[in-house]
A = this chain, B = another copy of it.
Amino acid sequence: MAAAETVVSAPELAAFVERICLAAGVSGETSRLVAVSLVAANVRGVDSHGVQLLPYYLEQIAWGDVNPAATGHVVSEDGSCLLYDGENGVGQAIAEICCGHAVRIARERGMGMVVARESNHFGACAFWAQKMSAAGKIGIVFCTASSMVPPWQGKATRFGTNPICVSVPGGEELPWLLDMATTTVAAGKIYKAGINGHAEIPAGWAMDSEGVSTTSTEAALKGLLMPLGGYKGTGLAMMVEILCSVLSGGAMSTEMGGIRIRGRAMRVSQTFIAIDIKRFLPPEEFAARMDKLIRMVKSAPPARGYEEVLVAGDPEYRMEARRGVEGIPVEAGTWQSLLDAAAKLGVQVPATHA
């Protein structure tokens, strides 16, 4: 019987994923990006956006639903605004190019806004926003996704989880990093309650199939994800939809496919905004102000039941520090799917786990 999980170091896991991608016909640079971006999510503890996505990516390529050779082209660049067509290439390859343009334009003009259409899953938004903040910019990323969330007052899906992500350079503090779906929780949390036999979930997580708020795990599993806080979550999801897919000229709402949907391109749109801080304040002054704000927030006395106040990004940085040392525990099912892919493509398993 297989162990519950296999612990692999981040570099080893990334190298393994890269080899699998290469063997699946993905170019060297794109294979590296896919590997690094997925493993970065695992290191941060965001396993839903880690290597467990790889088997789906490979299926999409095998089915011909993603073109691993395409990297897209610039449709137009006009002032601070750039429109990109991803030509159904690998999402990470497109995001890498678009982030580069956003940072370059921000450097030249103060702000850069790059909107990509005909793209694919690019892993977690955080990876791309962090790339922009590492270049000294405020990085903002929005993306659309497969339709799986109803609009408020509705009972059929019209939006993806449409995340909002912002990464901001700090001084002594780590870059502030928000990466949140516009639903109350990820679908995975409801599946997990079901798998673990919890009959009840907290109010606000989900609706039944009639679109009525429910705390029954069973009803939620057959039902719908709740937009964050109700109608406001739908408002935010639609804001993301507008800034991505309405502006991009690409697929909107239910026109999108998905990484688990065979026979059609995913056709998501993604938006990358970079803001050049020094056009407003000297960067060192801005960094000191970020540190100060973070400390002001953390100085709030903790609510009963908590030991401290955290800011966005903290839990993931702590996990990163731990998994960087201890390695990444890959769940048995995910690990097996990677082994299967490796076997099928004739790829060598990491020596320590062969």
Contacts and interface: CB of A to CB of B under 8 A. Distances in A.
A308 to B, nearest CB: 7
Given A110-B81, A111-B111, A247 B281 contact: yes
A111 B80 contact: yes
Interface string A85-106: 0000000000000000000000
Given A204-B203, A252-B293, A281-B247, A239 B178 contact: yes
Contact of A303 (B203, B207, B236, B309): B207
A277 B113 CA distance: 12
A256 to B, nearest CB: 11
A229 B164 CA distance: 14
A180 interface: yes
Given A153-B308, A304-B212, A310-B153, A247 B280 contact: yes
Interface stretch (A282-290, A323-331, A340-348): A282-290
A203 B204 CA distance: 8
Interface in A223-278: 228-229, 231-236, 238-239, 241-243, 245-249, 252-254, 275-277
Contact of A300 (B83, B109, B155, B243): B155
Contacts of A279: 76, 78-81, 83
A239 to B, nearest CB: 5
A292 B242 CA distance: 11
Interface string A292-311: 11001100111111101111
Contact of A301 (B156, B176, B207, B304): B156
A350 to B, nearest CB: 35
A154 interface: yes
A168 interface: yes
Contacts of A151: 297, 300, 309, 311
B252 A229 contact: no
A47 to B, nearest CB: 19
A150 B303 contact: yes
A50 interface: no
Interface string A205-229: 0010011100000000000000011
Interface string A137-158: 0100000000000111111111
Given A158-B300, A312-B235, A176 B290 contact: no
B303 A211 contact: yes
A154 B301 contact: yes
Given A154-B300, A180-B232, 20 more contacts: A76-B280, A79-B111, A80-B80, A80-B109, A80-B110, A81-B279, A83-B279, A113-B275, A138-B242, A152-B309, A154-B302, A156-B301, A178-B235, A204-B204, A211-B303, A238-B297, A246-B293, A247-B277, A249-B281, A249-B285
